[in-house]
Chain A
Amino acid sequence: MRYLPLTSDDRSAMLATIGAASIDELFADVPVDARLDGPMAGLPMHASELAVERHMAALSRQNRAAADGPFFLGAGAYRHHVPASVDHLIQRGEFLTAYTPYQPEIAQGTLQMLFEFQSQVARLLGTDVANASMYDGSTACWEAIVMARRITKRGKALLSTGLHPHYRSVARTMAKYTGDVLVDGDPSLDAGTDWAALADKIDRETSCVVVQYPDILGRIDDMTALAAACQAAGALLIAVVTEPVALGLIKAPGEMGADIVVGEGQSIGVGLQFGGPYVGLFACKTKYVRQMPGRLCGETVDANGKRGFVLTLSTREQHIRREKATSNICTNSGLCALAFSIHMTLLGEAGLRQLAAINHGRAKQAAAELAKIPGVSVLNNSYFNEFTLLLPTEARPVIHKLAERDILGGVSLGRLYPANANLANGLVVAVTETVTAADISVFAAALKEVLA
């Protein structure tokens, strides 16, 4: 077995040192009737690298990769070009095969990277501080709701109907068991957000208002008034960003007064990966930092006075506080945070702004072309790189017909909201820099045919 270095001579010599006659003696504490003697029956034996690669490659080929043709899916996961150096660097063994940096003297690489990541995320989201990452956007969103409860000592969260339905679903699942009250609902097919209506619902029990920006239908709006309404009522405004590239073009939630900003960092550096692993972004105002979940990296000095970095404020965390911790999170998403940070460093502010502008321009081009199809209209009065098309018929069957033509034409609202017939004709279309003008033409022509 190529991964196991012990030889049978080694094993014999080691057993002799231990004073055991056989390996079985080392398993003496396992009850006899729970011990398996030989390799488990009915399972294949070890296989060569060639054989395993062949098997996995065959499975990979059964998937239609995004790059194989026109591709317009978003709804919380976005396809962007990731520079080759990102994937090269995250495969450096010193990053890839390191553990959580518990021994800072020999983990400064990871720690400095996390400090840079936290600084980049805080700036991007327009907040004071950010943590060293969460599992993904959806779990970060729920953790933010719990954090707002801890801060305000109130238990009612108002969720915008524009929040990603999976995020809402995660929050509903957790709230069932924690006793938090959630006020939520499906979106309406309106051109604008429901934020003004949300502001009217804030009361003295409200811990937080959760809005997504851009929202699930691609709509963007100014949250300044909502932030003021929250502040007046002693509630917190939580903003959720599932497409952080947008923040190269549109105002950051922190700039508009959001207290906690969480997000999905996947679209920078990480790739689609069929849904995971992704990287949750979590940022807030400095005054709330001790209520934050997750790892935090901080600057300090070593015994010789040199600048260095350590994990800090760990008295919030489970390995110190156990049942009184702010969260049970331990492993987060370090390597994806590294990918995010490298990609962001390559882009820089100038690159990010240009990338965002190209995305927006491409989306406008696509929206204009698709809206020319008879019976098709664009719902949004504003958007970044994703918008909702209203079709004259249910969108789900259309998606499958497009897939038969090798076009992945977006995410139908029927898939996201299967129980809501009012939304069935909606199709969420994302257009990033990876989409070409030819892709848009092919998509538009095919959609026209399918709808005809």
Chain B
Amino acid sequence: MTALNPGGWRPEMIAAGGADDSTTFTGNRALMLEEALIFEIGSTETTGVDFDEAASAADLGPLARTAPIGLPGLSEAETVRHYTRLSRQNYAIDLGLFPLGSCTMKHNPRLNEKVARMPGFADAHPLQPQETVQGAYAVIHELAEWLITLTGMHSVAMSPKAGAHGELCGILCIKAALEARGEDRRVILVPESAHGTNPATAAFAGFTVEDIPATEAGRVNLEALKARLGPDVAGVMITNPNTCGLFERDMKAISDAVHVAGGYVYCDGANFNAIVGRVRPGDLGVDAMHINLHKTFSTPHGGGGPGSGPVVLSEALAPFAPLPFVTKHAEGFRLIEEESAGEDHPQTFGRMTAFHGQMGMFTRALTYILSHGADGLKQVAEDAVLNANYVLRSLEGVLDAPFAASGPCMHEALFSDKGLAEGFSTLDIAKGLIDEGYHPMTVYFPLVVHGAMLVEPTETESKAALDQFIGALRSIAMRAKNGDPALKSAPHFAPRARLDETAAARKPILAWNEPAAAPDTPAPSEIGGS
């Protein structure tokens, strides 16, 4: 048997490391279970998959892979246990409130998961003959119609794979539209409060990024923006509601001014949850906006994706939308690919991804939308905004809320670190929340507020859940104001204490490597087991 780690991982090695403060033999603490890496517990000759037939000999000559690959295998029983144990080291919406601002961590309905696994969706190939996948095209088309209606826009590009990919789609539409007009505008204006993806996207597409000044009330400074507009400005990227949790009251005036100056308005739709069913971005003069299906429309975030970022477009930008897309005809649905684009869609900027986008997210999002309906979606926005304002007003006496005086917030409440005791920071509050059994809010973003804490409770939290969270945050805020030293070393009750991120970046260890054999490592036979 080829063990990848000849010394073999043994539980006592944790204790041998000497750093563990627990007194157990295993390093476990009851339900808090340590788990080694697959490379330490698996072997290259173990497999958890049975095959019906023996492999036939291959005749690939020098191309045959003869050197060991070093991929460990586990039996199914061990595999299920490994990943189940790992899963228990994660916080998740299913465990409690997940108030990560601008991320819209709402409940993920399980009907969505069931539907996405229906064989017609999960077990269909993207290049099947079109007559065999009419139901899949129908899903894409039905979701597209909903997104167009809910946003009041002209059309939608469905293929972008996530929010930032959607931003790129919108920015490339703008670039293509400018080229069609024969104009070479080089500047995209982005407020400092924007998500980092906005300037990164604009730069990726070859634009120069310039800042839009903000007012003291946390909104775009309309007059300063107007003064900057000119023949070199291709457009603006604005998040609305913005990342300070505020609705841009002047959005229509901003759009009008940008249009008069010959530019286009990109809206970052990350915060669409606050207004879905209540406000249509199309009424505010937006030319392009991505919709994070993994935020507003509840497709699960999965520990970092997959997302999905369809982009709704104005009539001015629609001709430049990417391929492919679905159209409806008397005889059924048709996929417009490179082949037919020449006749139907000659100005397209091209293709952004292989195949047609995140079908698995489309089925989930459509299921969510149909479950809510027009009335339910409106209620979503209202409850999301109500919950955020409830948090804001319940805590503004304890934590500094820089924009609270300027009126209600939208779906997220913003606080700063002002007033904490010397040496205490937003990070300490975040880590204290972990000990209270919560995922922290978004911290140090937006950049326009010192030590920002952005709390987005979402509409799927009950009043009782909010009250407990408010109580916990109030308690931690008081500890930070009073300089409780225990808060500086929080979390105390998590699977790990604060991790050394500086060391991780200075000498990156990005993959597992066989440890150098220590001369005094006992042979496996001496320890027993295998």
Contact = CB atoms under 8 A, between A and B. Distances in A.
A80 B303 CA distance: 24
Contact of B389 (A20, A42, A169, A350): A20
Given A105-B496, A124-B69, A349-B72, A59 B390 contact: no
A269 to B, nearest CB: 12
A120 B72 CA distance: 9
A440 to B, nearest CB: 14
Contact of A273 (B121, B149, B508): B121
B495 A105 contact: yes
A353 B55 contact: yes
A77 interface: yes
B301 A324 contact: no
Interface in A301-316: 301-306, 308-310, 312-315
A60 B89 contact: no
B385 interface: yes
B19 interface: yes
Nearest to A31: B252
A12 B431 CA distance: 33
Given A44-B370, A130-B511, A255-B67, A34 B303 contact: no
Contacts of B60: 220, 249-250, 360, 382
A23 B382 contact: yes
Contacts of A220: 60, 63
B136 A342 contact: no
A179 B82 CA distance: 47
Given A338-B303, A345-B38, A300 B363 contact: no
Given A43-B374, A97-B301, A108 B86 contact: yes
A236 to B, nearest CB: 19
Interface stretch (A61-69, A197-205, A371-379, A386-394): A61-69
A34 B392 CA distance: 25
Contacts of B383: 4, 6, 11
Given A14-B386, A36-B280, A408-B129, A347 B121 contact: no
B509 A298 contact: yes
Contacts of B328: none
Contacts of A132: 304
Contact of A331 (B294, B378, B379, B511): B294
Interface stretch (A85-93, A152-160, A444-452): A85-93
Interface in B311-357: 322-323, 337-339, 349-357
Given A252-B65, A271-B123, A135 B165 contact: yes
A433 B50 CA distance: 12
Interface in B141-180: 142, 146, 149-150, 161-165, 167-168, 172, 175
Contacts of A98: 90-93, 301-303
Interface stretch (A111-119, A181-189, A227-235): A111-119
B181 interface: no
Contacts of A164: 354
Nearest to B39: A119
Interface string A343-374: 01111111111111110110010000000000
Interface residues of A, number: 209
Interface in B79-117: 79-80, 82-84, 86-95, 98, 100, 103, 105, 107-109, 111, 113-115, 117
Contacts of A289: 508, 510
Given A99-B105, A323-B199, A329-B164, A250 B65 contact: yes
Contacts of B351: 166, 169-170, 173
Indicate the member of A57, A83, A302, A349 with the most B CB atoms within 10 Å.
A349
Interface string B382-401: 11011101101110000000
A252 B200 CA distance: 33
A297 interface: yes
A290 to B, nearest CB: 9
Contacts, number: 725
Nearest to B150: A40
A79 B125 contact: yes
B510 A129 contact: yes
A313 B111 CA distance: 38
Contacts of B48: 83, 85, 345-348, 351
A324 B39 CA distance: 36
A354 B510 contact: no
Interface in B350-376: 350-361, 363, 366-367, 370-376
B449 interface: no
A94 to B, nearest CB: 4
Interface stretch (B202-210, B472-480, B522-530): B202-210
B305 A178 contact: no
Nearest to A58: B135
B124 A64 contact: yes
B197 interface: yes
A239 to B, nearest CB: 13
Interface stretch (B223-231, B257-265, B456-464): B456-464
B222 interface: no
B370 A347 contact: no
Given A3-B460, A62-B135, A94-B88, A105 B498 contact: yes
B139 A312 contact: no
Nearest to A404: B131
Contacts of B44: 348-350
B165 to A, nearest CB: 6
Nearest to B299: A277
A325 B204 CA distance: 9
B45 interface: yes
B196 interface: yes
Contact of A59 (B135, B358, B445): B135
B132 interface: yes
Nearest to B44: A349
Nearest to A113: B86
A302 B463 contact: no
A118 B512 CA distance: 9
Interface string B250-280: 0110000000000000000000000101111
Contacts of B127: 73, 75-77, 411, 415-416
B386 A170 contact: no
B51 A138 contact: no
Given A23-B386, A105-B495, A399 B129 contact: yes
B486 interface: no
Nearest to A297: B510
A360 B374 CA distance: 52
A62 B120 contact: yes
Contact of B51 (A105, A250, A354): A354
B373 A45 contact: yes
Interface string B442-468: 000100000000000001111101000
Given A18-B389, A320-B196, A247 B65 contact: yes
A105 B407 CA distance: 36
A52 B500 contact: no
B478 to A, nearest CB: 20
A62 B65 contact: no
B356 A39 contact: no
A326 to B, nearest CB: 9
Given A14-B386, A103-B430, A330-B197, A47 B165 contact: no
A358 B83 CA distance: 28
A256 B378 CA distance: 57
23 contacts: A43-B374, A65-B119, A93-B95, A99-B304, A105-B499, A106-B91, A106-B494, A119-B37, A119-B39, A129-B510, A136-B354, A166-B355, A173-B172, A179-B206, A250-B63, A276-B359, A277-B306, A277-B308, A277-B359, A296-B508, A327-B200, A335-B305, A360-B56
Given A100-B303, A252-B65, A331-B304, 19 more contacts: A5-B461, A10-B463, A14-B387, A46-B371, A52-B370, A63-B134, A95-B92, A108-B90, A136-B354, A138-B353, A177-B175, A274-B125, A275-B355, A276-B356, A277-B306, A319-B197, A349-B68, A358-B51, A400-B129
Pairs of residues from A and B, 7 with the lowest C-beta to C-beta distance, nearest first: A348-B73, A305-B19, A335-B302, A62-B135, A275-B355, A173-B350, A93-B94
